[in-house]
Amino acid sequence: MPEGHVTHRLAGELTAAFAGSVVRVSSPQGRFAEAAALLDGQVLTGAEAYGKNLFIGFGSDVNTELLVHVHLGLIGKLRLGPAVPVAAGDTLRLRIDNGEQAAELRGPQTCALITPAEQAGVTAALGPDPLRSDAAMASSWARVSRSDRAVASLLMDQRVCAGVGNIYRCEVLFRQRLHPLTPGREVTRRRWNRIWTDLTTLMPLGVRDGRIDTVLPEHGPDATGRAPRVDRHGGEVYVYRRAGQPCLVCDRLVSVQDFEARHLFWCGRCQRRR
């Protein structure tokens, strides 16, 4: 269940564990069996993340390099751990094993064998990724500033900025005190700049910690004396999945609304259209 911080963290873990070594590749569940057989016994060259997309490279020769494109979707999981035998009937789509450690992929939206050219096609369709040093935020501003769509919608659009999901979207809008339904056209360049900068602050912390924490120290349990409110996803947040609970800043009950097939959370007092 990933936003961009998860994919980037996984890319680092995969590279650290497997880069440069010959690996066994299999698909116990069967859906990726043909491709897995092709990769089995090859060298894993490294892994790279772009937004919510993860690319795992195989092959010793640049000309014959192949990549596994993984997108976890809503429910996919990729875990690294000690190599243990696969249980019968396991839902394991992809397994990578170097004899010591194993990576196990379950429930992905995408697990496909692609060429470098196809990878370039995937990334070309994505907006700048706040977690990448090559991110050009100007391209996201260009889209936002001429859109009538709500800023909440634009933030989730991977063509606008890659890697942001529902938690980061709701939280960054709270932190910047911006109402989620503000049309992109009404977002000033200065304000979008702050949103972008905030994402480039928050998301690396998510990669480092493996969880999304967005609450500033002055609103946290240490300063306020209240109990920490850690969401099931593992982090402490202002509004995400806190509907009906008091805002950590103003005590107004947090609002929720279904919006484009997702839950949108915000504080009706702290967050204004502007």
Partner DNA sequence: CCTCTATGGCGAA
Partner DNA sequence: TCGCCCTAGAGGC
Query: Does 86 help bind DNA (rule: CB under 7 A)?
Result: no
Which strand (E) or helix (H) includes residue 259?
strand 255-259
| Member of 158, 182, 214, 271 binding DNA (CB under 7 A) | 158
230 binds DNA (CB under 7 A): no
Half-sphere exposure (CA, 13 Å, Cβ side) for 255?
A: 15
Asked whether position 3 contacts DNA by CB under 7 A, the answer is yes
Least separation in angstroms between residue 3's CB and DNA is 4
* Six token digits for residue 86: 């696969």
Binding mask 28-67 for DNA (x = CB under 7 A): -x---------------------xx---------------
Nearest to DNA of 91, 188 (CB atom): 91
Contacts of 2 (CB under 8 A, 6+ apart): 52, 72, 76, 165
**Residue from 41, 99, 234, 268 that binds DNA (CB under 7 A)?**
234
Q: At what angle do helices 189-209 and 166-175 cross, to 10 degrees?
A: 130
Which residue type, as a one-letter code, is found at position 176? Q
Give me the residue label for tokens 């706040």.
130
* Segment 98 to 137, residues that bind DNA, using CB under 7 A: 106-109
Task: Characterize the bridge pairing of strands 101-106 and 77-82.
Answer: antiparallel
Between residues 42 and 92, which has the closer beta carbon with respect to DNA?
A: 92
Catalytic, 2? Answer: yes
Catalytic residue among 24, 77, 262, 269: 262
Question: What does the block give as tokens for 70?
Answer: 């993984």
**Considering 9, 28, 48, 52, which one is annotated as catalytic?**
52
Helix (H) or strand (E) holding 48: strand 43-50
**Is residue 257 at the binding interface for DNA, with CB under 7 A as the rule?**
no
CA distances from 11 to 5, 194, 200 (A): 10, 27, 18
Q: Is-catalytic flag, 262?
A: yes
Q: How far is the CB of 42 from DNA (least distance, A)?
A: 24
Determine which residue in the list 166, 214, 255, 271 makes contact with DNA, applying CB under 7 A: 166
HSE on the CB side for 155, CA within 13 Å?
A: 31
Convert 194-204 to b/e letters by CB count within 10 Å (16 or more is b).
Answer: bbbebbeebbe
143 touching DNA, by CB under 7 A: no
Q: Which of 39, 54, 103, 212 binds DNA (CB under 7 A)?
A: 212
Q: Which residue among 118, 209, 222, 260 contacts DNA (CB under 7 A)? A: 260
In the complex, the residues that contact DNA under the rule CB under 7 A are 1-3, 6, 29, 51-52, 71, 73-77, 91, 93, 106-109, 156, 158, 165-167, 212, 232-234, 241, 260-263
Known catalytic residues?
Answer: 2-3, 52, 262
